[in-house]
Amino acid sequence: MLETKTNTGRGFVSIVGAGPGPVDLMTLRALDRLQRAEVVVHDRLITSEVLALIPENAQRLYVGKALGDHAVPQEGIHALLVQHAQLGLRVVRLKGGDPYVFGRGGEEVQALQAAGIAFEVVPGVTAASGCSAAAGIPLTHRDLAGSCVFLPGHLADDNATHDWQALARPGQTRVFYMGVQRLAQIAHQLMAHGLSADTPAAIVRDGTRATQTVIATGLARLVARAPAYGAQPGLLIVGETVQLSPDYHAN
């Protein structure tokens, strides 16, 4: 069981990954923890159907974040988790995707450990695997990609933070979380370091949901065709496996 306990007599925090959106992509453990929660601290991208599973008598605390708009700063989220656990309550920190994949779950665990709060981490389907599968894009393939790498979209803001030459090498699938806003910068860096402009690439928005949209074509063409950045969550996938998507069009 993925659990760490401290014998303090205090409450308990479950940091729960809700997956990419649909209820039926949640794990059974996530569902169990949510339905037994007394306090739920949840993010912006949790779907209404998942929120509907929260017990009526549970307290809901919204701490969602959007670009430049954080309802509660990260340190405030830490404080909420600790404060409610210290009241002896069962607290669920409900996060989209997986808590440990660009979900800041590691920071929240550190805060709980520092306060001596008992906790567990419940993994969830992360956007990279959920959205790529829903779009028909394998993350690895014996003939096309022997590895994959997960990256934050803001990587493009600082050229010194990563080895772009390594990222431009063939035989890998690159997945940029929240990469739509910085698509042009990411594409420029990859192509400047040797990646072909015709490399298959895709934008998957609202992945795994009924509102999912996929644009898949060559990288340079994708930059020209990309929609304007908006509130919808978007994933950028770059690599040869994108050509296997039924939505892929080279031209």
Catalytic residue list contains 43: yes
Using DSSP's 3-state secondary structure scheme, residue 180 falls into coil
Say which of 43, 95, 98, 206 is annotated catalytic.
Answer: 43
- Catalytic residue check, 5: no
Which whole-number Å values give the CA distances from 99 to 86, 88, 106, 248, in the listed order?
Answer: 22, 23, 8, 30
Catalytic residue among 32, 65, 95, 157: 65
DSSP class of 228: P
CB 201 within 8 A of CB 238: yes
Instruction: List all residues 6 or more positions away from 133 whose beta carbon is below 8 Å from its beta carbon.
Output: 208
Tally the C-alpha atoms within 13 A of residue 136's C-alpha that lie toward its C-beta. 10
Name the one residue in this structure whose structure tokens are 């609202």.
206
Residues belonging to the active site: 43, 65
